[in-house]
Amino acid sequence: MIHVLDELRVVPGSLSHVRDLVREIYEPALTELGMALEHSWITPAVELFDEPTDLVLLWTVANTPAFWHARRGTMTDPRVAEFWDAAAPMLAGRNRRIMVDAAQAGDVQ
């Protein structure tokens, strides 16, 4: 199992709208590409109105071939581009981490 952690730094006052975009556009597209949204969090634990709040999304992908299938798909799926175009003005930054359980390193084929 591969875990993908998206960290979206959301500008003040935009968290609700970004969450809606994730639910309505991004999640359905990534689900069709083989990724599953396992959990989402905000940090800190309350929305801030004077500085960005991080929206953290944890996705899972079955294995390495499924990861590359999803990765290629995100480059051509118009919904993914639509999501990033709509979200970009509401983001102060973003980061993505690709992770596997340390015990499975090298075994996610």
- Report how far Cα 36 is from the mean position of its chain's Cα atoms: 10
User: Does a structural domain hold residue 106?
Assistant: no
Q: 74 with 82: CB under 8 angstroms?
A: no
User: Does a structural domain hold residue 109?
Assistant: no
User: Does a structural domain hold residue 105?
Assistant: no
> What is residue 11's DSSP assignment?
P
Q: Three-class SS of residue 63?
A: coil
Comparing C-alpha atoms, which of 82, 65, 93, 67 is closest to residue 22?
A: 82
Q: Which pLDDT value is given to residue 53?
A: 98
Query: Tokens in use for 77?
Result: 């799926």
For the chain of 109 residues, list the mean pLDDT of each consecutive stretch of 10: 97 98 98 98 95 98 95 96 98 97 70
Q: Which helix (H) or strand (E) holds 99?
A: strand 91-99
Q: Which pLDDT value is given to residue 102?
A: 86
What is the extent of the structural domain holding 62?
Answer: 2-100
Q: 54 with 9: CB under 8 angstroms?
A: yes
Question: In angstroms, rounded to a whole number, what is the distance separating the alpha carbons of residues 100 and 5?
Answer: 11
Domain at 82, CATH number: 3.30.70.100
Q: Which pLDDT value is given to residue 106?
A: 65
Give the angle 85-91-96 at the CA atoms, nearest 5°.
90
User: Does a structural domain hold residue 11?
Assistant: yes
How many domains would you assign to the chain?
1
Q: Which pLDDT value is given to residue 108?
A: 53
